[in-house]
Structure 1
Amino acid sequence: MWTSIIVGIYILITLSIVLAIILHGARPSKSLAWLLAIFAIPVGGIVLYFLLGRNRRKNKLVQLKKDVFKKFPKPGIQAVSSFEGKYRKLMTLFYNNSFFPPVGNNDLKLLKDGKTTFDTIFGALEKAKKVIHIQYYIFEDGELADKLFRLFKLKLQEGVKIRMIYDGIGSFTLSSDYLNSLKSIGVEVYSFLPFKFGRFFSSLNYRNHRKIIVVDGEIAFTGGINISDKYLKGEPGLGNWHDMHLKIEGPAAHHLDQVFLMDWYLVSEDLIKPLKNKELTSNDKSKALVQIVSGGPDDDFPALEQTYFSIINTAKNYVYITNPYIIPSQAIIKALQTAALSGVDVRLLVSENADNTLVNWSVHSYFELFLKSGIKIYMFPDGFLHSKVIVCDDAVSSIGTANLDDRSFEQNYEVNAIIYQCEFADLLKADFLKDSGSSKLLTYDEFIQRPWTKKLQEGIGKIFSPLL
């Protein structure tokens, strides 16, 4: 009797999942793969689907960005309607996805690697007068965390409000002692979708990968660097971690603050209006035009995938990309190949060393396709290169948290800063050329001669690439 009941329940669950895949499947190939997994792997296929396969854009757990954004001061659609020039389409697309128009009068500082970045961050935090907002995917115990604690304690005594978000999975090792210490001195701390059995299936695969610090609504930081001592001391077996971060002082910092506050509402249900930013009327051309693009699994469209896709398609002369996790969607593959075959100088800078073996196999599985199209691939040999940067035609560039993979496009909450300034693009281009100059250039003829064991590993990696 009990066996019949269990089998009946299993059949009902299976049929409901199959119906959901048919009705709401994002892509035919992915839907077919899940259907095969469910029928080929009894029970296990269903568990995997609940963990990794559901289309959150069709089955939203929260209705956040549009609803909350309506309650915030509007950035101004009039600015969007007046855009001119060859990047107007890019600006409009990014605005329609994230609701932030490009804003001028921003002072930018490019920050490379941990010491420079954290020296600059702590310098800004020490000057805070009103509020500090801090959000990280990975927040680990160590010297940096202890230094932050001491600084937070001092700023709280000065009357500064401090709010902090950490990702429940990315910061899983962050000790309860440290968190309790923060709360005891008055820091408001929340975990983003913490690990809880009751919502294990609904939240495990959706992480907040953003890295944001905002000081008084006027100075902000974002990029690839997390709060971890490995950015200062390196990591055994992997070496030094190399990464890129960005300091923004100006109206775009206010937009990053709004991204933080929307996440704050999600974790706390506390709606906080952002600080009113300074009125800036200067038309100083030496200052940068910056547009913030945020995206997540609750949005209607994959904002960061469309961001990279559009920048690549816009390129006329060159597009240089630095990223550790290039596991591209078909759209990104076609964009890169089409650009290269059209005569655009397409170059990828990838870390030769990897922090995850399976991910590394998956990244390498796309190299042959790229090389055959004329795309240049450089393998960075020194430690682990974690930067997420793209620069195009000496004019437009992007620094942020999003990788070129399905996880960043479909499953993670991410944020990038798009910069429309020739001088800043020149800085990133020079940095790319310097790093690629000390890297190994792969050639198609050499790569196709790799051992069959490497090809087998890459094949395995490619099979799992939609899940990475």
Structure 2
Amino acid sequence: RAMPPPAHGPVHAQVLTSGPDSDWEAIHRLHVGAIHAAKRRVWLVTPYFVPGEAAMMALTSAGFGGLDVRLLVPKTSDSTLVTYAARSYFDSLLEAGVKVYEYGPRMLHTKALLVDDELALVGSANFDHRSFRLNFEVCLLIRDAGVAGDLAKLIEGEFAQAPRVRADRERPLWRARLPEAFARLLSPLL
């Protein structure tokens, strides 16, 4: 005898997948679309931050629009090139009003996007070219104020412990600016 379909729960959720077998970049489109649709808040947590033009435009537009835009990345990634590439975007983000935090001392594994008070996206995808275009990834989109509130508390606790990146931070030519510029050139390949 066939089992009845499961009852619908109170939380609205959708599974999204993407990978090299599709040209649609569903997870990338969801990130960019959700950020553009934000009215109040965009909080992004990712171990690898190497955004493409559309993703960077969405984040900086939200920042310039006066939204509470925050980014949490590892102080030191498991890839030196990715660390430098991520930092190469910081000045533009800070200029747009985005608050950038560096997580440490251990590696950051969380991949989450929180938009306003009810939309949460969690899954395997980093905020980078490789996850958006080349890797097989899966994410869960959740539209629920309770889940979003729980995620907000968790992320807020991480922000509270992570130093905020300052626009006037020291950036020596040989140890910061040149390696960041070189890594930025390679960012489409990372």
Q: Please say if 1:431 is aligned against 2:157.
A: no
TM-score normalised by length of structure 2: 0.94
Q: Distance in 1 between matches of 2:61 and 2:80?
A: 29
Which residue in 1 is equivalent to 2:188?
466
CA offsets, 1:342-400, max 9 Å, x none? Answer: 11110001111221111111111111111111100011123000111011111000110
Alignment pair present for 1:450 and 2:171: yes
Whether contact under 8 Å (2:118, 2:148) holds in the other structure is yes
Residues 1:440 and 1:296: Cα distance change in structure 2 (over 3 Å):
same
Q: Which amino acid aligns with 2:177?
A: K
Provide the C-alpha distance between the structure 2 equivalents of 1:369 and 1:309, rounded to a whole number of angstroms. 17
Residues 422/444 of structure 1: CA separation in 2 closer, same or farther (3 Å cut) = same
Show the 5 A alignment for 1:272-351: 278-281=4-7, 287-351=10-74
Matched position secondary structure for 2:31: helix
Residue 106 of structure 2 aligns with an amino acid whose one-letter code is G
Counterpart CA distance in 2 for 1:452 and 1:277 is 65
Supply the distance in 1 between the matched residues of 2:57 and 2:97 (Cα, whole angstroms).
Answer: 13
Q: SS in structure 2 opposite 1:430?
A: helix
Alpha-carbon distance in structure 1 between the residues aligned to 2:24 and 2:5: 32
Task: Classify the secondary structure of the residue corresponding to 1:348.
Answer: strand
1:341 to 1:419, Cα distance in 2 relative to 1, 3 A: same
Unaligned runs of 5+ in 2: none
**What is the DSSP-based 3-state SS (H/G/I as helix, E as strand, rest coil) of the residue aligned with 1:360?**
helix
The corresponding residue for 1:406 is 129
Measured in 2, the distance between the counterparts of 1:353 and 1:434 equals: 19
Higher relative contact order (CA 8 A, sep 6+): 2
CA distance in 2: counterparts of 1:376 and 1:464, whole angstroms: 25
> What are the equivalent positions in structure 2 for 1:219-230 lying under 5 Å apart?
none
Match of 1:375 among 98, 102, 117: 98
Secondary structure in 2 aligned to 1:444? coil
SS of 2:27's equivalent? helix
**Alignment RMSD (CA, Å):** 1.4
Q: Distance in 2 between matches of 1:324 and 1:278?
A: 41
Please show how residues 43-122 of structure 1 align to structure 2 within 5 Å: none
- Would you say how many aligned residue pairs link Structure 1 and Structure 2? 188
Between the aligned partners of 2:82 and 2:118, the Cα distance in structure 1 is 32
Partner Cα distance (1:382, 1:392) in 2: 27
Deviations 1:267-286 (A, max 9, x none): xxxxxxxxx7742345x5xx
Change (3 A) 1:279 1:394: same
**Mapped partners of 2:63, 2:83: distance in 1:** 23
In structure 2, distance between residues paired with 1:329 and 1:305: 10
